[in-house]
Amino acid sequence: MNKVFNSNLLFFLTAIGFLIIYHLFLIPANLDLSNRSYSLFMDEQVPYDEIQSILNSNNFSEVCSNYAFGDQRFGRIIYLIGAAFSYFPEKWWGESGQIIATRFLFSSALFGSYLLLIRVFIKDNLFRIILFLLLMAIPTTAYYSTMPKPEPFLLLFFSIFCYFYFKKKSESWHFILIGLAYGCKVSLLLVVGLIFLFESELLNVWPINFNLINLWNKVKFKLFYFAMGLGIAVPILPLSIIQPSGIRSYLGATLFNTSHGADSPSVTIVSWVQGIIFDWIQAPPILTIALGIIIILSIIYRLVLGPKILVNTPDKFMFALVVAVVSIFSILFLVKRVWYMYLTFGLVFALIALMMSIEFLIARSKRHNYFGWVIILFCVLFSLNYLLPQEKTELSLLSNRTKTNEYKIEKAKYNLYVGVLNKAKNQKKGREISAFVDPYLFRFYTNEFKIEQFWGPFIDWEKGYDFVILANQSNPIFFLPPYTSPQNCSICVISAQKFTQFVDNQKSLVNYHRYLSTQDGMVIYKRVN
């Protein structure tokens, strides 16, 4: 008993010590670029706005309304939790308090999910320590611990689900948690589908003893609790009973909105693999390839030597392996933009499957013992020499964002266009000034002007804004000769046509001219009639 206690204590102290060291680099990164909300990166603006709307509610009814409605791309539950956690920091330190509290909330959710998954899937505390090191060394850990995204809470809800799922006496209620996880982000769709396929025991009876009623009886309560969790995470769905447009809004923002302006039809699984080896992992390509081969061979070895797995028995290793394979390969084959953070969920379970394989091999025999420890040594040295220094570099860069020339230029452009708007307001007293401000620019948070934003090439000249302020990424002038429009970009063609129609065209009822520009491509167009 003392040995087990000491071993548990060792794991606890090691994890705490590693997190303390990690936070020496994480804290400066999360404190930087937090003084004002206008400078937030585009991905952080969404959670900031949604949390701010809940915090600014005047009564409980408004809290419920702002929780249910708004941006539906990700589960509203993450914004409600964010608002609850950042309530006092925002009251005491304003928007800076909200930004910092939100960042550390999401990083804590990420680290907590790592620890809980290790607790669920790994038995030996020494292997738990090693796996925690490997999980923290995933390059996107730095990204998700500094950027409020849905993945940390998706992982947290899913890890709690796994904890109860593998407890023999657990009832169906814990499927609420997988509903919450799926509600955070629909990328979990295939994994959820496979879990329900297993729970239905369809693979055991198909096709000879297939009975739809029996299948329904096996999953009906689990589906009910799943729907309950999804309804909590995305309250607009249960509200669709009285407001049918809610479900259309949700589907339009999620399942029917999987394409992105950064998509490229030329991206294939080969593009992903090349990017991982030669771009994402900052290590010699030969070592990265060797690491991948070692992980795959170790798991195959475990499959060959391991005991026969019954289809109707929950097996932790097969669960982790299937989740990893489905998550990773769905990204590699279906996503047409090489954004490595999408791989995080699958990589977490791939490393869990790897460590379970090694744990099995070391316990099997002395020959397998040596093989297992060689794999562990290689993975640990690879992490210590390449992955963790890569994260340290990224966190150091994030800690110095406000000191870069890029930040100073962006802030100067922000001050420039805000000055133009304030000057126009003083000249046209009594009338609200309207402006379109490119979301690539620092955002002007104010109620004194009517400001709108939209991602992509600008096309809405006919709305008659007083000013249209564009960065070079959205300026239609770059879609006109001598420049060439991107291939298969119909919106770019429309943007160029409307630019010709509404800019410096005296015959147009709505006419703009170039009012001011900067050397790096920001242009302010002013309406002249």
3-state secondary structure 86-103: HHHHHHHHHHHHHHHHHH
Give me the pLDDT at residue 484, please.
Answer: 64
For residue 468, the cross-strand partners are 436, 525
pLDDT over 90 (residue 104)? yes
Domain boundaries, the chain: 2-258+265-398, 405-527
Of 394, 436, 452, which is closest to residue 22 (Cα–Cα)?
A: 394
Question: Is the per-residue pLDDT at 398 higher than 70?
Answer: yes
> Which string of b and e fits 113-133 if b means at least 16 CB within 10 Å?
bbbbbbebbbeebebbbbbbb
For CA atoms 253, 254, 260, 264, the dihedral sign is: negative
Q: Please state the rounded mean pLDDT for residues 460-482.
A: 80
What Å distances lie between residue 321 and 206, 389, 467, CA to CA? Answer: 23, 28, 54
Please give the share of the chain, as a percent, with pLDDT higher than 70. Answer: 92
19-33, 319-333, 373-387, 455-469: segment of lowest average pLDDT: 455-469
- Looking at residue 379, its amino acid is C
**pLDDT greater than 60 at residue 313:** no
> Distances from the Cα of 410 to the Cαs of 40, 314, 351, 443, 518, in angstroms?
11, 53, 40, 10, 11
Residue 442 amino acid letter = F
With 70 as the cut, is the pLDDT of residue 3 above it?
A: no
**Per-residue tokens: 52:** 């701010």
Look at residue 2 and tell me whether its pLDDT is greater than 50. Answer: no
Count of beta carbons in the 10 Å neighbourhood of residue 415 = 11
Given this model, what pLDDT does residue 5 score? 45
Residue 525: helix, strand or coil by DSSP?
Answer: strand
What is the model's pLDDT at position 209? 64
Residue 198: pLDDT band with limits 50, 70, 90: confident
Kindly report the pTM of this predicted structure.
Answer: 0.89
Rg of the chain, C-alpha, whole Å: 26
pLDDT at 379: 94
Please report the pLDDT score of residue 285 as a whole number: 95
Task: Please give the structure tokens belonging to residue 239.
Answer: 């509200």
- In sequence order, which residues have a C-beta less than 8 Å from that of residue 347 and are 6 or more positions away? 138, 140, 324, 328
Report the half-sphere exposure of 471 (CA within 13 A, side-chain side).
Answer: 16
Closest by CA position to 115, among listed 132, 103, 136: 132
Residue 220 CB coordination number (10 Å): 10
524: β partners: 469, 516
pLDDT band at 261 (very low <50, low <70, confident <90, very high): low
pLDDT at 492 > cutoff 80? no
pLDDT tier, 304 (very low <50, low <70, confident <90, very high otherwise)? confident
